């Protein structure tokens, strides 16, 4: 096994809808978005072993490309608080990600 520094790129297109609520609502703004795109490795990774419920598989330093779909939502609370949650799945590649979950909180000051 050898170590490597990954270098990858992602091109995507998203569409969404933002709904604004009145001052009496707990959520100032609620948004939904959906997107799709193309992800690619700009250089080959080092050798790696990927393990999961179905066992382990050895990959010899490959360079991969794949398509993905993304579904996300975001809550904006006031001027400084934001919560985001996304689900993403990739396909048509050698190293696909079945489900990627990303949750984030941003505080602006």
Confidence of residue 1 (pLDDT cuts 50, 70, 90): low
Domain ranges of the chain: 10-42+66-107
Cα(74)–Cα(96) distance, rounded to whole angstroms?
25
- How confident is the prediction for the chain on average, in pLDDT? 85
What average pLDDT does range 4-20 have in this prediction? 87
Contact criterion met (CB below 8 Å) for 32 and 17: yes
- pTM above 0.95? no
- From CA 24, how far away is CA 60, in angstroms rounded? 57
Q: Name the residue among 56, 59, 84 with its Cα closest to residue 70.
A: 84
Beta bridge partners of 32: 17, 73
């Amino acid at each position: 096994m050898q170590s490597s520094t990954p270098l990858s790129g992602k091109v995507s297109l998203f569409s969404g809808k933002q709904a604004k609520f009145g001052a009496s609502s707990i959520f100032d703004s609620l948004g939904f978005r959906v997107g799709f795109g193309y992800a690619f490795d700009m250089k080959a990774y080092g050798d790696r072993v990927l393990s999961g419920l179905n066992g382990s598989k050895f990959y010899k330093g490959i360079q991969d490309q794949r398509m993905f779909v993304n579904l996300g939502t975001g809550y904006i609370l006031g001027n400084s608080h934001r919560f985001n949650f996304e689900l993403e799945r990739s396909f048509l590649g050698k190293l696909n990600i079945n489900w990627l979950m990303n949750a984030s909180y941003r505080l602006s000051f």
